Amino acid sequence: MYYVSTRNKEDRRTASEAIEKGLAIDGGLMTPEVLPKLSHNALDTMKDMSYQQRAVYVMNSYLDDFTSSELTSFASKAYGGNKFDVKEVAPVRQVDGNTYCLELWHGPTCAFKDMALQMLPHLLTASLKKNQENKTVCILVATSGDTGKAALEGFRDVDKTRILVFYPKDGVSAIQELQMNTQEGENVGVCSVVGNFDDAQTGVKKLFSDEKLREQLAERGFFLSSANSINWGRVLPQIVYYISAYCDLMRDEKIQKGDPINVCVPTGNFGNILAAYYAREMGVPIKRLICASNSNNVLTDFLKSGIYDRNRTFYNTMSPSMDILISSNLERLLFALSDHDDAQVREYMAELGQTGRYEVDKTIKEKLGKLFSAGYCDDAETQKVIGAMWKEHHYLIDPHTAVAFDVLDQYRKESGDDTPAIVVSTASPFKFCDNVLGSLGVTQLAEGTDVLDQLSELTGIPAPAPLAALKDKSVRFTGSVTKDHMVDQVLEMLR
């Protein structure tokens, strides 16, 4: 199977090339030329498998140039041992009669980014070998919090890789900052950038297009790459958990094979919900894909009207990983829904670049309406949902997950559609203690990492071990630069 650029389908690559490059040369996203379909007994076969085995089964159908034994080894390194704190890896928990929650935060950094970033380093380093790349890859990341830590943890001490993370000094929570600054590993670097996420992101983009830097690094035996969610190696591992969740519901006899389900996904860059779309295309009986946003509701408007317009106020919300106005992975959906019309995708993306707005044609609009529903939820409502979920179900959820529960509720009320639904839970509530405690009515917050104990004592739920361990970790990284000095930091680290 080959991968093509969403902006030029003549640009065909093998899976390992697509993963190595991250982005196509024309700026498009590498996307499977054809989506594999699940065979008629695939779900039955996977039903009794472990998560690792399911991952191998699904990924195998996308990665022609990788062997099953390679994938088996990657899956066991990524999801086996005690990397995840539950053996199911991505457990499905029943909330009420027809509502389930897919918990994706049991990994080493307590957010769903681990599901892909524990796998990506293995796919990437194997891809480099297959393509006879001898240089060491340096992953540069600009993060608003969760991606940076998950990438550091995924690439830590992985052979032939370095990783350097830039985060905005004024843009991450205290826990998130501590998680990154205490990162262990010989090949890692962390540095804050004066300013907000946009400053860090713009800075990193500039580094990627810096010809002189590229030459200097090549002389030292390095090249730059990205662990951003535009890399196919991040989308693919995410398809697995949707299929896995359906298999769990079948195995536990909550549904019969073939029964429809809905999924509701808290969305930022459109990577997670795109994976659900691909799972549906492969044959998982997903009826509706429900896209949940916070007050940055550019996707809600798009899915309802067909008009994408980023010219709007940006809000800092209590679900920061969804504070995003340009959802990069939407480009892959446009490519699919336009029947791989690369010229059309190019045009939309050019309009987005020039005016910040585009409107899709009637055909795409109709398809969007058939597949997707969308809604959003502001901070006040998010708090209410966290409080109510705890009170009614004794279930503690983080603000991102709360947004999704609220949007599912809105959808059910508006449509009367009571199909069993899976809400995707993307972070541990302990990652966002301040806002979760606030939602439970606490007004006096403890200092620093003591908020973890405070939330634990209030709810009787222990904090996840990686977060509880932060107290005793020493800070390794204190560097801070202005946007214009990020290049010095890279050269300093890559000696």
Ligand X SMILES: *Cc1c(COP(=O)(O)O)cnc(C)c1O
The one-letter amino acid code at 375 reads G
| Residue 7, CA distances (Å) to 20, 115, 185 in order | 18, 28, 38
Report the nearest approach of ligand X to the CB of residue 385 (Å).
15
Task: Give the residues lining the site for ligand X (CB under 6 A).
Answer: 111-113, 146, 229, 266-272, 321-322, 400, 426-427
Measured from the Cβ of residue 85, the count of other Cβ atoms closer than 10 Å reads 15
Nearer to ligand X, 321 or 410 (CB): 321
Report the nearest approach of ligand X to the CB of residue 432 (Å).
8
Contact between residue 255 and residue 308 where contact means Cβ atoms under 8 Å apart: no
Report the nearest approach of ligand X to the CB of residue 235 (Å).
9
Of 494, 475, 292, 290, nearest to 373 (Cα)? 290
Report the nearest approach of ligand X to the CB of residue 416 (Å).
27
Scored b (16 or more CB within 10 A) or e, 46-62 reads: bbeebbbbbbbbbbbbb
Distance separating the N- and C-terminal Cα atoms of the chain: 38
Task: Tell me how far apart the alpha carbons of residues 291 and 288 are, in angstroms, rounded to a whole number.
Answer: 9
3 state DSSP class of 329 = coil
Nearer to ligand X, 142 or 493 (CB): 142
Report the nearest approach of ligand X to the CB of residue 319 (Å).
7
Strand positions, DSSP E, 182-316 = 188-193, 222-226, 261-266, 286-293, 307-309
Residues acting as catalytic residues: 113
The one-letter amino acid code at 32 reads P
Nearer to ligand X, 47 or 431 (CB): 431
Scored b (16 or more CB within 10 A) or e, 263-277 reads: bbbbbbbbbbbbbbb
Contacts of 471 (CB under 8 A, 6+ apart): 449
Nearer to ligand X, 16 or 267 (CB): 267
Measured from the Cβ of residue 13, the count of other Cβ atoms closer than 10 Å reads 18
The C-alpha angle with vertex 246 and arms to 244 and 251, in degrees rounded to 5, equals 90
- Name the phi and psi angles at 400, rounded to 5: -65, -45
Report the nearest approach of ligand X to the CB of residue 226 (Å).
14
Nearer to ligand X, 5 or 426 (CB): 426
Task: Tell me how far apart the alpha carbons of residues 291 and 314 are, in angstroms, rounded to a whole number.
Answer: 19
Nearer to ligand X, 236 or 255 (CB): 236
Of 12, 29, 27, 21, nearest to 64 (Cα)? 12
Report the nearest approach of ligand X to the CB of residue 320 (Å).
8
Nearer to ligand X, 344 or 425 (CB): 425
